[in-house]
Structure 1
Amino acid sequence: MHLGAGVTVGLTGLAAGYATGIAGDVGVRSTAQQPRFFVGMILIQVFAGAMALYGLIVALLLYTLTTK
């Protein structure tokens, strides 16, 4: 149960970091060319980071539901 929760958090954190890096790179380049893309870039960054939060929630559910 601890390993499953840890792997869940680790993989979703890795995926969120990778998505944030790619979206940030593309977002900064597009914002440099067209400043109106800034708000869209920020929204994409928020949604990319939310993956890690969802992974943490799933890990907490795995841990709490299996300890009963």
Structure 2
Amino acid sequence: MDTKEFRVLIKNCFLKGKVTVEAKTWLDAEFPDTAPGKSIIKDWYAKFRGGEMSTEDGERSGRLKEVVTDENI
């Protein structure tokens, strides 16, 4: 399972009113080998509490991937 899917599951736990410990316990039971860590769950809960309900990655500054291609070099 990829990180985007885990974020959606974490958001679902948040919306159901589960605390981070309950979310971590449930994810560990369902996905024992690939569940995200406690700190990741806490970070996403903090974002959701702050009103940011998107599960997408935020934009980052820096060099674009298209800049370093064989065609441009």
Q: TM-score, normalised by structure 2?
A: 0.30
> By percentage of residues, which structure has more helix?
1
Q: TM-score, normalised by structure 1?
A: 0.31
